Structure 1
Amino acid sequence: MMNVLRFFWELARSRPFLFLALLLAVQTFAMFGGRALWFSDEVRYAAAFANLLDGHWLVLYLNGSMYPDKPPVYFWFLWLIGQFTGGATPTTFFIGAAASTLAALFAVCLLARRVAEASKDATLLAGLILLSTFYFVGLAQYSRMDVLFTAFILAAQVALYLGVKENARSFLVVLGFVLMGVAALIKGPFGVGLPLLAILVFLAWQGRLRRLFRLDFGFGLFLLVAIVGAWAVGAHLSEGPAYLDNILNKQIYQRAVRSWHHDHPWWHYLATLPLVWLPWTLILLVLPWRRFSVEKLVDLWATRREAGGKAFLWCAFLSQFVLLSAVHTKIVIYALPLFAPAAILVAMAIMDMPEEKSRRFWGLTAVVMGLIALAVPVFEVASPWPIPVGGTGLAFLCLAATAGAVWLARGMDSQLPAFVLALGVTLTLFPVGRLTIPTLDPAMSPKAQAETMGMYASAGFAPAAFNVYPGIYQYYLRPFTPQGLYMETKDEAVLEQFLADNPKAAVVLRTRDFERLRERFATLRPVQEQWIVDRPYVLAIQGGEGPP
């Protein structure tokens, strides 16, 4: 078995990115097209993209209103894909997710080879770490811009690091700023803040902050401002000052210092990242912590001016972790740019691991994978949703087999069990993608409720939603109403007036709100209830009978 694994490892390591791209393609095939678009970001981004195709190219729109949460570049990227996939179709969004992941893996390989100067073995291992981390694998199959955002952040870091290796001016520094500008227009200011902070801390560690004042940094900054400024001016001319005020105040300032949602304590990422990084978090249990001493720190300080790519990865990871922890809005996906340096550093640690520690690490990994396998049937029984969950038996068998294979491989060359793990996770995606995921649509996608509301709209009922996450029904309402538009409000008085103005109405409310307001809106009668993610929603109608 070891000789077979070594043969395939040697084959894969000869072209690390090519093998990772092939493995991603297999994972994508396993998961592709078996489900609807899910709550909340997928359906909202799909609606925003469909509205972009209707003419809102510079400023995004959602359900008839400005959507200042996100800049437009990711949606331009989807437009390119849509030229071959029929426009605003689920295929476009799923291919967009896979293509974004491919770009991120390419950036990871660049970061490993060109910055960390890692071997081909460590580069391949870093990619396998990502493609066997369930959280990352899930994001690779979920349509949102964070993975492409991460790819540009990583590419900017590669360009900046290579550009400052020497004191002479470099075109790569300018390229890094251009990439930061594009990243900012994919998702926001972290596209500038994260790579700029990484290179700033690295130069400070080296005692070379004067490098910031070379002409290439100045010209790069000029281009960065020009790129972002050109879009900002266009958005201002298109939508007026209210749009930019919303971005600068609500989307940037308030998210940073006074968040209205996802406001977590400073230690949030300390608690969540170890969970989403499983099973690789277990590396912390076998690291040679005794080597970290005062003498070691003194040596690091003494040799800091000769620090290279590995030190840059540490500077990037630690400084960006601190920045993300300082910002009030904290979501695990915001920390996605940390995954790449973490994967490379873990890969290099595994490659250097003594045989005894390697055996212990992979033994622990096998045990954790076994526990994850045991959690699958528990999930089926303890699922909070009133729906049957399919495919869990096969998923359990695949995960259990993966755990067993990793256990058997634990005494082999330290990188080979990672190969086994990545292949096992990929195999598991077939029953998950073909059997389990499709059965979750009734609890994860608003499609069914949107289409029911759409049938009532086609029968003359005015569609509306009260106190529901904005825009989640528009994409699936498009076949039934002009551009999928429907009335949304959180104001009870507005809903009351809407019902007075529309004798026939179809309104979605949270079940809790419907029960609370039943007496006030006695004319509404429920016709459908759907549990979406974490709560049930009721579709209630006023007026005629409408569709059955």
Structure 2
Amino acid sequence: MSQTFDSAFGWRFSQRQEFWLLFGIALLVLGAGLGLRDPWPADEPRFALVAKQMIESGNWLIPHRGSELYPDKPPLFMAMQAFFYTLTGSWRIAFLLPSLLASLGMFALVYDLGRRLWDHRVGLYAAVALLCTFQFVYQAKRAQIDPSVCFFLTLANYGLLRHFLLGPHWRAYWLGCFAAGLGVITKGVGVLALLMFVPYLFARWQGWSDVSRPAERGDALRWLLGLFAFVVATALWLGPMLYAVHADGGPEYRAYMNDILFRQTAERYTESWHHHQPFWYYAEVIGSAWLPLALTLPWAVPRWRQALRQRDARVLLLLGWIVLIILFFTFPKGKRDVYIMPALPLLALLVGSQLQFVTAQPWFRRVVLAFVSLLGVVFLLAGALAWSGHLSAANRLLEQRGLEAGGAQLWLFVLSVGLVACVSALWLRVRRSVLAMLLTLAAIWLGFGFWAYPVLNDSTSAVQVMRKTGEMIGKDAELGLVAWKEQNLLHADRPAKDFGFLKPWPQQLAQAQQWQAQQPAQRWLFVLRDAFGACVDADKAQYVGHANRREWYLLRADAFRRGCDPATAKGEDGDSNAE
């Protein structure tokens, strides 16, 4: 890598300077667009709303979504968002900071582990390989839980691998176990980091020489302290949560406890109720979401096989854990691409150990050039056809998203990325095709953050429709939400009344009607068009706007038909708030 910098720029860098230069590039790519958009569905507004209500209520222990408890995820991620809001005073920054910092943390851990297990150059190559992977960068730019739980799993692996391969290093081992516990209270899967014991114990059983073999007196206690560190980390939230549920004693809190401890963990794994995918689904994820890293596999896999024959425990432990993670998530019917994302940093580390060899292969460079050329042609054609109005799918997208005004800017971004890719491929050709790929990826992610974010934000985030709602009802009116989504409550310009989130729409509408009837001149209802049912006179509803592929209306009290009860009336409209 140092030779690359020297030959490209004529400058000489120390190893530390090379890392910080690369870290700065990672910060630019991953942080591009920070502060330029609001939370986007499906998950981001939910977590941001929970974090906002933590601050407003002072209850950071058991999260709420509106008036209901939110039992789907532990509160650590949302608490981090709330914490960063108290530091920055801006939700546009705070809601994305946990993902950004977690991704930068994974980037640094992969470099440092590569440096320790191999050398400085491998560490840099591994970090670059991770930064170039589509799923890693995309998730770093999303305010979802997965980057944070991946960071804790990567930190756990970092500590365990330093102990297993470079040890004994008991403090690293305890850190790894503690990080695994933090992963549990982030999303429940942190315990999977401890699967690293499987290939480690196999290597010890087979007598592989390059694994650590602690044998001092008192080592049994040190091993058990790892279990203690894991339990302490999980107890940081579980202990206070169980106490709060016991102290309250109400059925709502007991249902919350049972849901988050059992239904969202064991039952979700064994009896998946959504995201059903075929057995081979993760092969598709690796071949698409893990591009362009996946392009190296035909050359890297034979090298790993050779290393295993030579009893290289570094490859055994890293590759063994990756395989175990993929197998673990393959057996349930419910599968999502982000489930196997924790394996990505270790795969980047393995690829980094062979990247100098792989990039020297002429056929690999040809494959990379073909990949860049394909991206360029696809982006160029799609952008040109969409910009000229000759792509029906693009026209439907603009209509569904309410983006007619910003469509030209969006397609110009797509067109520009295609132009960068095509020019890079023609200019740099086979010999420097890797550089062409880096330029193309930079154009995608920098353009996405600085260019596409502002264009997409208003319609995607529901900011515009909630701003218009406030203008239509006036600053002194009260607002009630029916069949609402999290972004509606999050972006409301005043405290809003909700009537449940998971509750069926007819029941929400019936309670909202009663609430509005108490002060009909002062209270308005913000209602999804599909939830009107038979009791709402659509001709008296006031149209607000289109957002998130939904039509939203405002209702005054006179919009309800006399003597009609929304909870019992039969109509053509839906009665579920499901997506």
Give the equivalent residue in structure 1 for 2:262: 249
Residue of structure 2 aligned with 1:110, choices 105, 109, 112: 112
Give the equivalent residue in structure 2 for 1:192: 191
For residues 359 and 474 of structure 1, what CA distance do their matches in structure 2 show? 50
For residues 474 and 202 of structure 2, what CA distance do their matches in structure 1 show? 61
For residues 385 and 197 of structure 2, what CA distance do their matches in structure 1 show? 46
Give the equivalent residue in structure 1 for 2:250: none
Distance apart, 1:428 and its partner CA: 4.1
Pair 1:498 & 2:512 matched: yes
Unaligned 5+ segments in structure 2 are 247-253, 560-579
Please, which moves more after superposition, 172-181 or 16-25?
16-25
Residue of structure 1 aligned with 2:341, choices 323, 336, 339: 336
For residues 289 and 308 of structure 2, what CA distance do their matches in structure 1 show? 32
For residues 557 and 5 of structure 2, what CA distance do their matches in structure 1 show? 73
For residues 84 and 288 of structure 2, what CA distance do their matches in structure 1 show? 34
Identity %: 19
Pair 1:528 & 2:531 matched: no
Give the equivalent residue in structure 1 for 2:179: 179
Give the equivalent residue in structure 2 for 1:397: 416
Distance apart, 1:235 and its partner CA: 0.7
Residue 228 of structure 2: SS of its match in structure 1? Answer: helix
Contact map agreement 2:373 2:425 (CA 8 A) in 1: no
Pair 1:57 & 2:60 matched: yes
Pair 1:472 & 2:491 matched: no
Q: Which amino acid aligns with 2:80?
A: F
Contact map agreement 2:428 2:435 (CA 8 A) in 1: no
Give the equivalent residue in structure 2 for 1:309: 314
Residue 95 of structure 2: SS of its match in structure 1? Answer: helix
For residues 18 and 5 of structure 2, what CA distance do their matches in structure 1 show? 19
Q: Which amino acid aligns with 2:421?
A: T
Contact map agreement 1:58 1:234 (CA 8 A) in 2: yes
Distance apart, 1:420 and its partner CA: 4.5
Contact map agreement 1:317 1:341 (CA 8 A) in 2: yes
Q: Which has the higher contact order (CA 8 A, sep 6+)?
A: 1
For residues 197 and 38 of structure 1, what CA distance do their matches in structure 2 show? 34
Give the equivalent residue in structure 2 for 1:97: 99
Residue 311 of structure 1: SS of its match in structure 2? Answer: helix
Distance 1:494 1:33, change over 3 A: closer
1:433-464 deviation line (CA, Å, top 9, x unaligned): 33322221244212233334455485545412
For residues 364 and 11 of structure 1, what CA distance do their matches in structure 2 show? 32
Pair 1:543 & 2:557 matched: yes
Pair 1:435 & 2:421 matched: no
For residues 309 and 16 of structure 1, what CA distance do their matches in structure 2 show? 25
Please, which moves more after superposition, 13-22 or 318-327?
13-22
Give the equivalent residue in structure 1 for 2:288: 275
For residues 12 and 328 of structure 1, what CA distance do their matches in structure 2 show? 49
TM-score by length of 2: 0.79
Q: Which amino acid aligns with 1:156?
A: A
For residues 451 and 184 of structure 2, what CA distance do their matches in structure 1 show? 38
> What is the number of residues matched between the two proteins?
519
1:135-172 deviation line (CA, Å, top 9, x unaligned): 32222222223212211211111111221237857232
For residues 422 and 130 of structure 2, what CA distance do their matches in structure 1 show? 18
1:15-51 deviation line (CA, Å, top 9, x unaligned): 4542232112322564222222211222111111112
Q: Which amino acid aligns with 1:536?
A: R
Give the equivalent residue in structure 2 for 1:71: 74
Distance 1:266 1:510, change over 3 A: farther
Residue 502 of structure 1: SS of its match in structure 2? Answer: helix
For residues 301 and 4 of structure 1, what CA distance do their matches in structure 2 show? 34
Contact map agreement 1:372 1:399 (CA 8 A) in 2: yes
Distance 1:35 1:76, change over 3 A: closer
Residue of structure 2 aligned with 1:463, choices 469, 480, 486: 480
For residues 242 and 513 of structure 2, what CA distance do their matches in structure 1 show? 36
Q: Which amino acid aligns with 2:52?
A: A
Contact map agreement 1:78 1:93 (CA 8 A) in 2: yes
Q: Which amino acid aligns with 1:203?
A: L
Distance 1:247 1:30, change over 3 A: closer
Pair 1:125 & 2:140 matched: no
Aligned pairs (5 A) from 1:139-178: 139-165=139-165, 170-178=170-178
For residues 139 and 439 of structure 2, what CA distance do their matches in structure 1 show? 18
Give the equivalent residue in structure 1 for 2:352: 347
Residue of structure 2 aligned with 1:360, choices 345, 361, 366: 366
For residues 430 and 12 of structure 2, what CA distance do their matches in structure 1 show? 18
Unaligned 5+ segments in structure 1 are none
For residues 509 and 257 of structure 1, what CA distance do their matches in structure 2 show? 37
